[in-house]
Structure 1
Amino acid sequence: MRIGQWLAVVGLALPFGIGCAAGDSPDTGLDRFYGQALEWKSCDVAKLDEAGAQCTDVTVPLDYSQPQGKTITVAISRIAADPAHKQGVILSNPGGPGGPGLDFMVDVGAAMTPDVKASYDLIGMDPRGVGRSTPVNCHWPRGFGLLSAGLDRAGFDESVATQSDLATRCAEAEGERLPYITTRNTARDMDVVRAALGAEKVSYYGTSYGTYLGAVFTQMFPERSDRIVLDSAVDPERYGPVHMMRDMGPANEAALDLWADWAAAHDGEYHFGSTREEVRAGVEDLVRRSAEKPIRIGAFEVDEHDLPLVLFTGLDSPDQYTMVAEQWRQLRDAADDKPVDISEELNKSLEFMISARPEDSSPQMAIMCGDVEAPRDPEWYWRNIEAARASQPVFGAFANNLTPCAFWNPPAEPTTVVRNAVPALIVQSTGDTRTTYNNGEGLHRALTASRMVTLRDVPIHWIFGRYQNSCVYDAVNAYFRDGTLPATDITCTK
């Protein structure tokens, strides 16, 4: 495919119907899904089995406007409540989009107080197209659908060709199903799960993209929404492959500054430089060197398209600063032709990004591209990249680059407009590198009855269950326990 030639996928523009909230109308054709009996069994996942969970598959329509047509299955897990104290069901999503969530509630449950955990059936779920839920597989030659544009026009043109190829492969492998792998359909699936579990309403915990899914669910099924907690939130007006991504550029440059300060304080161990400026100069130099000569490390060749992503994947938590430093030292040593024993963590990261093992992230792109249309003109992205380089020397070419969505057919349904008064608790760090603080504020405005818990001065993405903070944890547990939002917004400190 030539650069600038757009995909034409048969069937991608088919219209969708909007599923009814509870299947309570006899002519919806959805009653058989809402009323299905579930057969629980062992999950055959060590983490879930050790937690005492059981798993089952829920049958849902591929296309909710054609409920008599093809079906798919959605895999869910359940850590059961104490029957004597049960007060509800909590559904969940770990983000991505495209993140498998079958075992997610094991981690979230560990952050709950014992009385809260005993009060709910904790439901993990692989969203449609992901993991065990009739997965999308575009058979990509690389794992990650996001990459940096590189340092010059030649690098950008190379990234355009790569993204075009990834989109073409998805169209050829999954074109018939792609229109239906969307957030709106996952929200519909959640309501089928709710009914199959025998619940009138469901509570919900979602992080990252999972906050967007939760917000869409409250918009589509407000009467089925109970206690909603949205951690590290996406502004629904900025969700998608452009605005949400561009927000990450300045946030990650700021996080890189903090890591550079930390690395400078540990110069005796890592020798990256004794000041922030020296550390950053070394980072930028290694990216330039990787453009001239890809870094050979382990079984991989790492160039300027993927090297910034090593930092991006590690800078979303201060707990990972040591890991980032060790990985960066390995890459620098490899660039200097020194012998390197690649760490297990770096090997796994590069294996996923570069070689698509054990699987690729095509479900992520299927969901995001299926939800929101992206600009199609490569020159639009190039102008944004060039404008960002001065203030974002490491991440500007990543955050402003195009994705496979630039070569996707338009979404089959309009993007969901979220504006409602369903009560919700929003939890957000001011230093979040993935879903930036302004995104949390945007969701707070869209959910007019929400309250917001702000964690100040911590560059952390996903707080409850990942980063211990008693102020945040107390607020989340209290809401799940009592169902009463704080009287006002709350600010927590590290």
Structure 2
Amino acid sequence: MTNKTRKTRTRALPWCTLAKRLGAAAGVLALAASGTAAHATEHPGTELAAYHRQHVTWTECREGADDEVGTALDRAGARCARITVPMDYSRPTGRTMEIALSRLPAADPAHRIGTLMLNHGGPAEPTLGMPLETRAYMGEVGSRYDLIGIDPRFVGRSRPLDCGWPTGIWVRSAGTGRAAFDRQVAYQRDLAERCAARHGDVLPYATTRNTARDMDIVRTVLGERRVSYLGYSYGAYLGAVYMQMFPGRTDRMVLDSAGDPGTYGPRLLQGREVPTEQALRAWASWAAARHAAYGLGASRHAVLATVRRIVGAATDRPLRVGSYEVDEHVVPYLISNGVGSDLEGDRAAFSGAVRVLDKAARGITVAPTPELEGSLQFVLDSASSHYGSPAAAIICGDVAAPRDPEVYWRDIERSRDRHPLLGPITNNIAPCAFWPKAPREQPTRIANDTPALIVSATGDSATTYRGSRAMHRLLTGSRLLTLHGAIGHGVYGTYGNACVDAKVNAYLESGRLPDGNPACTK
């Protein structure tokens, strides 16, 4: 069933959500190796007792006249608070930090089901305002939950980490030759060194496992024996890690756009080439049918030729788009990232952006569309550093990356024949190659029979449908709800498919998983 109207998130981003902007660099979930380190939260003892018993003071959410999220939360009847957690769970009597959370209480307390924790993904996307949109997705069952939005450690209001980067996100193409790759090596090294200089003392504690430990302190402080959970993309991974670390403490778990547990880490873009190329071809057909509107080509072949021409022009010289210059490192990323949704509004916005890039490639003076300007600001503007910095810190703190640039160069060169546009992106070097500290723990091995509902679209080019199936195999108590024929990352509520929304809401209401793996169609 097709639902032509799209529900948008509270903080909409140009033509795609932040999770899409991270291009699965932040979207893929779960961990690759076994985790053996035991810390106090997994086995609560006297050292964490004070954290579990702390008193919570609920206040207004608004912080300043320009705080739109806080104002909206207050208007909806939500309240906000801060709780104290250990900076380092292996030394709970040492340094502490505060975690910000919001609570939108059940509107039908007489039939209250429980508490539903939320996470937008990213990693490092603020989640404080998420209860507002989630209640709208949930329909009638939304009134029966307390909805909890948590800004994870080092994100948003929870001691935000900003490395002072000259960019919002580190993902780039390696370019066409060795000189271009060497520029990327220097660029990514600089990003890592900026984080080390500003936040070297706390980087080791920016990890998914510590975020899961924070969630369990939130659970106990709220007085809940078990909590329900809804997480998108990286948020699905975070939910899976919580389930693994804290068995028996979850109720209804919805993991939307979950990724392959074997691919999470600094090189998690690898393997996304084929679904992204399929999405690119699908968009090209759509744009060809609207050649009169966008002028990109009257056939799929012609549109793809336009894309190649744009990329080639950016290789010769940076393209001028308004006040921005976009080069061979940025243009391929913009193209690959923009095809990740088949919703009409997203495709129209992306097609308008490509039209601008095409004109710039032909030497025409152009200004960006509003959507393209937002994306260029995110990719190229230092004002967005507070998004990319903590995302990198979490990924680099979770899983170690190869340190030798030659490893990346060899992979890039091997990928060029089959994937000339995407191979230099998915195999490119990243800040983790130069991260100042190795991960303090082994990654979490995801393997249990905890009940959960995994939701995925077959055309997801970020975490991929194949990745969600891998998560489903490892969570043997789970069910996989598939949206067939759709290209999109983030399905429940955000894609606008009535069938998916109804099945998720039925599970949240009853707590009963389907007998088999249900399916919906676009």
Alignment gaps of 5+ in structure 2: 1-35, 63-68
Paired position in structure 2 for 1:414:
442
Paired position in structure 2 for 1:203:
228
CA deviations over 1:3-39 (Å, ceiling 9, x no partner): xxxxxxxxxxxx975133473x3x3x11111111111
Conserved? CA contact 1:58–1:193, under 8 Å: yes
- Identity among equivalent positions (%) equals 47
Amino acid at match of 1:273: G
Pair 1:19 & 2:40 matched: yes
Tell me the distance in 2 between the aligned counterparts of 1:47 and 1:344.
Answer: 24
Conserved? CA contact 2:459–2:465, under 8 Å: yes
Number of residue pairs aligned between Structure 1 and Structure 2: 475
Conserved? CA contact 2:163–2:385, under 8 Å: no
Q: Determine which of 263, 282, 287 is the counterpart of 1:238.
A: 263
Q: Determine which of 367, 370, 378 is the counterpart of 2:397.
A: 370
Paired position in structure 2 for 1:10:
none
Q: Pick closer, same or farther for the CA change 1:383–1:321 going to 2, 3 Å.
A: same
CA deviations over 1:56-78 (Å, ceiling 9, x no partner): 11111100111111111111111
1:37-436 equivalence runs, <5 A: 37-44=55-62, 45=69, 46-81=71-106, 82-114=108-140, 116-242=141-267, 244-319=268-343, 320-360=346-386, 361-408=388-435, 409-436=437-464
1:332 Cα deviation after fit: 1.9
1:343 Cα deviation after fit: 2.3
Conserved? CA contact 1:381–1:400, under 8 Å: yes
Question: Helix, strand or coil for the counterpart of 2:212?
Answer: helix
Tell me the distance in 1 between the aligned counterparts of 2:451 and 2:39.
Answer: 23
Question: Helix, strand or coil for the counterpart of 1:222?
Answer: coil
Tell me the distance in 2 between the aligned counterparts of 1:393 and 1:100.
Answer: 34
Question: Helix, strand or coil for the counterpart of 1:331?
Answer: helix
Tell me the distance in 1 between the aligned counterparts of 2:40 and 2:507.
Answer: 29
CA deviations over 1:89-120 (Å, ceiling 9, x no partner): 01111111111111123222211121x10111
Tell me the distance in 2 between the aligned counterparts of 1:135 and 1:335.
Answer: 38
1:312 Cα deviation after fit: 3.3
Pick which of 142-151 and 388-397 moved more.
Answer: 388-397
Amino acid at match of 1:18: H
Amino acid at match of 1:331: L
CA deviations over 1:109-155 (Å, ceiling 9, x no partner): 211121x1011111111110111110111111222121111112111
Q: Determine which of 481, 499, 505 is the counterpart of 1:477.
A: 505
Conserved? CA contact 2:167–2:384, under 8 Å: no
Runs of 4+ aligned residues of structure 1 deviating over 3 Å after TM superposition are none
Q: Pick closer, same or farther for the CA change 1:50–1:325 going to 2, 3 Å.
A: farther
Scaled by the length of structure 2, what TM-score is found?
0.88
Question: Helix, strand or coil for the counterpart of 1:84?
Answer: helix
Conserved? CA contact 2:320–2:365, under 8 Å: no
Scaled by the length of structure 1, what TM-score is found?
0.93
Paired position in structure 2 for 1:9:
none
CA deviations over 1:152-209 (Å, ceiling 9, x no partner): 2111111111111111111111111000000000000000111111111100000100
Paired position in structure 2 for 1:7:
none
Q: Which structure's relative contact order is higher, taking Cα pairs within 8 Å and 6+ residues apart? A: 2
Q: Pick closer, same or farther for the CA change 1:48–1:391 going to 2, 3 Å.
A: farther
- Over the residues paired in the alignment, what is the CA RMSD in angstroms? 1.5
Alignment gaps of 5+ in structure 1: 1-14
Tell me the distance in 1 between the aligned counterparts of 2:186 and 2:458.
Answer: 36
Tell me the distance in 2 between the aligned counterparts of 1:250 and 1:49.
Answer: 44
Tell me the distance in 1 between the aligned counterparts of 2:273 and 2:300.
Answer: 18
Pick which of 231-240 and 43-52 moved more.
Answer: 43-52
Tell me the distance in 2 between the aligned counterparts of 1:150 and 1:105.
Answer: 41
Paired position in structure 1 for 2:490:
462
